Structure 1
Amino acid sequence: MAKLPVLMYHNVTEDYTKVEGLTIHKDFLEEQFKYLVSKNYKTHYLSELLDTKSLKGKNVVITFDDVTVNQLAYAVPLLEKYNLKATFFIPFAYIGGTDGWNDGKEAIMTVEQLKSLPDLVELGHHSYKHRAYAKLTNEEIKEDFDACFAICEQQQLSVFPAVAYPYGNFPKKEPAKSVFFQELVKNKITYGLRIGNRVNKFPFKNPYEIQRLDIRGNESMFKFKIKLLFGKLF
């Protein structure tokens, strides 16, 4: 089985004073992208993996949560510069607004901006209101997906049926876990992405527990390289 690290990014900035937690400087992001290219990593859309039986060589999936305008400004040009594929996950209730689940300071892309993204970017689901799935009832989860699908249809947005769980959160205890996964199946969701900070084996053991590596803005390039190979060790 091949190794398949899935990188998780959030905000991108050009201001070094704002680099902290999940906010990365655009220069650091470029350094990481250059490294992937120099080491011959092949990037994949999540949709490509559905019909893929095995992987050869070095492979990686790049993901960005929240579709913030700063990603459009700084990450997208770098993806184009290095010809890297990525998946951007949409919190649908906040399209054209701000990140209301945080402090509301980051602008979220509009429908027009989402439609303007290059072909290197595939869109996915990040829930409707960015609420932790484990705290929702089954009916609330169903309503959340219904609201997402309604916007996709109304706005004619092409969104691949994969979901990045807000906060990496989903029910982990039975029977709630199985009920949640059944809801994903009912909604024809193909992949569910958590955090976990481990490197996946492909084909995935469980398509609804794909692990991602949270790439933090204040971590060194050495730590990025270690995460890419082994996951989070320290």
Structure 2
Amino acid sequence: MAKLPILMYHNVTEDYTKVEGLTIHKDFLEEQFKYLVSKNYKTHYLSELLDTKSLTEKNVVITFDDVTVNQLAYAVPLLEKYNLKATFFIPFAYIGGTDGWNDGKEAIMTVEQLKSLPDLVELGHHSYKHRAYAKLTNEEIKEDFDACFTICEQQQLSVFPAVAYPYGNFPKKEPAKSVFFQELVKNKMAYGLRIGNRVNKFPFKNPYEIQRLDIRGNESMFKFKIKLLFGKLF
């Protein structure tokens, strides 16, 4: 089985004083992208993996959560510069607004901006209101998915049926876990992504527990390289 690291990014900035947690400087992001290219990593859309039975090269999936305007300003040009594919996950209730689940300071892309993204970017689900699934009732989870699909239909957004769980959170105890996964099946979700900070083996053992590596803005290139190969060790 091949290794398949999935990188998880959030905000991108040009201000070094704002680099912390999940906010990365655009220069650091470019350094990481350069490294992927120099080491001949092949990037994939999540949708491509559905019809892929095995991977033989160095492979990586790049993901961005929240579709913030700063990603459009800084990440998208770098993806185009280095010809890298990525999946951007949408919190649908906040389209054209701000990141209300945080401090509301980051602008979220509008429908027009989402539609203007280059072909290198594939869109995915990041819930409706960016609430932790494990804290929602079954009915609330159903309503959340319904609201996402309604916006996709109304706004004619092409969104691949993969969901990145807000905060990496989903029900982990039975029977809630099985009920949640059944809801994903009902909504024809191909993949569900948590965090976990481990490198996946492909084909995936469980398509609804795919792990991602959280790439933090204040981590060194050495740590990035280690995560890429082995996941989070320290």
TM-score by length of 2: 1.00
- Corresponding residue for residue 141 of structure 1: 141
Instruction: Give a deviation string over 1:43-65, Cα, whole Å, max 9, x none.
Output: 00000000000001100000000
Report how many aligned residue pairs link the two structures.
234
Q: How does 1:89-100 map to 2 (within 5 A)?
A: 89-100=89-100
In 1: Cα distance, 2:51 partner to 2:137 partner: 33
In 2: Cα distance, 1:47 partner to 1:57 partner: 18
What SS is found at the alignment partner of 2:172?
Answer: coil
In 2: Cα distance, 1:204 partner to 1:13 partner: 33
Structure 2 unaligned spans of 5+: none
Structure 1 unaligned spans of 5+: none
Q: Runs of 4 or more off by more than 3 Å in structure 1?
A: none
Instruction: Give a deviation string over 1:65-108, Cα, whole Å, max 9, x none.
Output: 00000000000000000000000000000000000000000000
In 2: Cα distance, 1:173 partner to 1:93 partner: 28
In 2: Cα distance, 1:185 partner to 1:145 partner: 12
Displacement of 1:167: 0.1
Displacement of 1:129: 0.1
In 2: Cα distance, 1:138 partner to 1:206 partner: 21
In 1: Cα distance, 2:232 partner to 2:129 partner: 29
- Corresponding residue for residue 204 of structure 2: 204
- Corresponding residue for residue 155 of structure 2: 155
How high is the sequence identity, in percent, across the aligned residues? Answer: 97
In 2: Cα distance, 1:157 partner to 1:206 partner: 27
Displacement of 1:203: 0.1
Displacement of 1:125: 0.1
TM-score by length of 1: 1.00
What SS is found at the alignment partner of 1:119?
Answer: coil
In 2: Cα distance, 1:64 partner to 1:57 partner: 23
In 2: Cα distance, 1:36 partner to 1:206 partner: 26
In 1: Cα distance, 2:190 partner to 2:51 partner: 12
In 2: Cα distance, 1:47 partner to 1:138 partner: 27
In 2: Cα distance, 1:217 partner to 1:156 partner: 34
In 1: Cα distance, 2:157 partner to 2:187 partner: 17
In 2: Cα distance, 1:217 partner to 1:69 partner: 17
In 1: Cα distance, 2:53 partner to 2:116 partner: 32
